[in-house]
Amino acid sequence: MTHLSAIGRWLLAAPVLGASLLTGCQSGDSGKAQPDVLQASLDTTARPGDDFFQYANGTWLKQHPIPASESNWGIGKEVQNEVYARLRALSEEAAKANAKAGSTQQKIGDFWGTGMDSVAINQQGAAPLKAELDRIGAIRSGADVPAVVARLQMMGVDALIGPYVGQDAKNSEKMALHLYQSGLGLPNRDYYFNKDLRTRNIRQQYGRHVQRMFQLLGQDSVAAKQNSARVVALETKLAAASRKLEDLRDPYRNYNKMAVAGLNQLTPGLDWPALLGQMELGKVDTVIVGQPEFYRTVGQLLKSAPAEDWRAYLQWQLAHAYAPTLSQDFDQENFRFYGTVLQGSKQQRPRWKRVLDAEESAMGEALGQLFVKEYFSPATKQRYEQMTQNVMTAFREHIQQLDWMSAETKQKALVKLSKITPKVGYPDKWKDFSSLDVKRDSYAQNVMRANEWKYRYNIGKLGKPVDRTEWDMTPQTYNAYYNPSNNEIVLPAAIFAIPGVKDEDADDAIVYGYGGASTIGHELTHGFDDEGSQFDEKGNLRNWWTKQDRAEFQKRVNQIVRQFNGYTVLDSLHINGKATAGENIADLGGIVIAYDAFKKTEQFKKGEKIGGLTPQQRYFLGYALGWQSHQRDEQLAQRIMTDVHSPAQYRVNGPMADVPAFYEAFKVQPGQKLYRADTAQVRIW
């Protein structure tokens, strides 16, 4: 769960696009039947009780090495490839259409056209940033910085501060301005301080990368080196005041509501009314500050850091944010560090895929509207809406049968569950992009205009009723989330897609494991994980537990934290059990809850084998199919430090070790690696 919502289903690609129709079929053009999708992935040299992830996916992983252009590969990328082809066709058609000015097709076509015109992009170099670079160059003291930061925020540059408008965690009917820690060029604070060899090398490479970017902006090597050192030093001070990944999961500690006058007292010397006015937020009187100590440090630095530090820092932040939209030298240097050094990718992905990612970020729902019209069937939507209701019914039964929770808290948990709103497939109301201006002048400037549109769209929510119909993901996204403030689960159409398998050809065992456990049940459980359980049925941060029940729940949370702390990844890295607790709880909850929903299906009751596998076995293999992926060591190391999700292998093996029905389905015995004595198995929901 982030400070906005829990992104629960997928972890490897961002932005992630996905197919919103289960395409293809199990019969090829030759008429020969394709192998069963589960059977074809099995590695029977592995025992399920030793390494279920390898048993379920090993053959697929061997046959699908990570492409040179990728830092990871898996089922999500396979789905993504299907949708890329479709969105490319839609975009190319729009670019040729001579569409009416202001129409969705014109905007998609012009965005695509400028993004794909690499000749014009290379000719322009950094020219699209000139006005903003000149503005930064005019800074003469720390007092000049806030106005420039305000402008950069509107352009999508996360420099120094992190403002956004979202629901008030303690009053979900109100939209509030939030300030979160931000402004770092490395993935998070630990990259500035960890002393292991891998992270120290990344820090060295980072300084060289920043220097090269300054040289691309036209500075000589001496000035570029000096400015790089200024950037790293300033960011290190910001990092020192930033909270660790696990500490960002405490909703009470990260909720500090204060009047704007109180914000001025927190950061003496920083005139917040003036800054908010420059950010078009002049009517704000209260702010929710996530990490007050971070903003205290911001105020101190604005008084103490010299102007040349601020000029360097803001020039870097601007160039960093827009490097993928600039000429080839900026784009390649940006990829060298963020793609190769940090994530291990060997070569750039094709430009057309990167432009589609940018298009998705700029106006994803406009694409989604065209996409679902072409590719998402009502029958598929109906199937997963019904499955969602079935899983919710199973969860209700689980709560009623809990032996560690009192009747008083159970009743409140049941009320909260009954109030969860499921959103399946695509929104009933689409975003209106009529005010977004897209032209054929410059790719970078189209991205700028899109960022400004998104910024104003977001801040425009202040003072208005909460729109509970809105989606934070597009229907073509291979992901899902739980939003605690809305008490809703959002399940984009694409998340149910199995590459090469039509929906009607996928048996219930697969879809209950793949869609029911790792998506529906997972997101429902987020409403009752270590963080989501602190919000009530109306989406407000409020304790609804008895003291004893909360203590019993925390004992079980501590168990799963210890379990995942014990997993070693790569050479010496450990999973952060506390930071990943919410996702690990949701994985385990999703599996056991959706399994009971599956037990009510005709397939389970008949017990017939398919592909030599029982319905129970197919269910658990269907779950493992959802995590069919592998990644480069560089990206794995990064995600251990920055991601609240455990690596895919442990999202399968970890919870399976706590599920008695899995032991029964695959005859797991003492002495096998996944075996845990009954008293050691984690039981929560």
pLDDT in tens, 155-209: 999 999 999 999 999 999 999 999 999 999 999 999 999 999 999 999 999 999 9
Closest CA to 99 of 355, 348, 440: 440
Name residues whose C-beta falls within 8 Å of residue 547's C-beta, 6 or more positions apart in sequence. Answer: none
The percentage of residues in the chain with a pLDDT greater than 90, rounded to a whole number, is: 91
Q: Please state the rounded mean pLDDT for residues 216-239.
A: 98
Instruction: Give pLDDT tens digits for 558-577.
Output: 999 999 999 999 888 999 99
- Where does residue 68 rank: exposed (0-12), middle (13-18), buried (19+ CB within 10 A)? exposed
Band (pLDDT 50/70/90 cuts) for residue 408 is very high
Query: What is the Cα 427 distance to its own chain's centre?
Result: 19
DSSP character string of 204-230 = HHHHHHHHHHHHHTT--HHHHHHHHHH
| 516-529 mean pLDDT | 98
Output the pLDDT for position 374: 73
Residue with tokens 């004595």: 677
Q: What pLDDT was estimated at residue 9?
A: 34
What pLDDT, on a 0 to 100 scale, did the predictor assign at position 248?
97
DSSP track, 96-136: HS-PPTTSHHHHHHHHHHHHH-HHHHHHHTTGGGHHHHHHH
Domain ranges across the chain: 6-88+376-431+470-680, 126-325
Preceding amide of 292 cis, omega within 30: no
Whether the pLDDT of residue 27 is over 50: the answer is no
Mean pLDDT value of segment 283-298: 97
Question: Are β-strands 256-259 and 286-289 bridged in parallel, bridged antiparallel, or unpaired?
Answer: antiparallel
pLDDT band at 34 (very low <50, low <70, confident <90, very high): low
Least confident of 19-23, 85-89, 187-191, 348-352: 19-23
Amino acid at 225: K
Instruction: For residue 477, give the amino acid letter.
Output: T
Q: Are 474 and 366 a contacting pair, CB within 8 Å?
A: no
Instruction: Tell me the mean pLDDT in the region 217-236.
Output: 98
Correct CATH for 6-88+376-431+470-680 of 3.40.390.10, 3.40.50.720, 3.10.350.10, 3.40.640.10: 3.40.390.10
- The per-residue pLDDT for 55 is 98
* 202 CB neighbour count, 10 Å cutoff: 21
Residue 596: its pLDDT value, please?
98
Cβ pair 372, 428 in contact under 8 A: no
Tell me how far apart the alpha carbons of residues 474 and 425 are, in angstroms, rounded to a whole number.
9
What pLDDT digit, counting tens, does each position of 88-143 carry?
Answer: 999 999 999 999 999 999 999 999 999 999 999 999 999 999 999 999 999 999 99
Q: Which CATH architecture group holds 126-325?
A: Orthogonal Bundle (1.10)
Does residue 15 surpass a pLDDT of 70?
A: no
Could you tell me what percent of the chain has a pLDDT over 70? Answer: 95
Which residues lie across from 680 on neighbouring strands? none
**E-assigned strands of 487-562?**
488-492
Spatial CA neighbour of 391 closest among 420, 369, 368: 420
pLDDT for residue 269: 78
Q: pLDDT tens for residues 476-500? A: 999 999 999 999 999 999 999 999 8
**How many angstroms from the chain centroid is the CA of residue 313?**
27
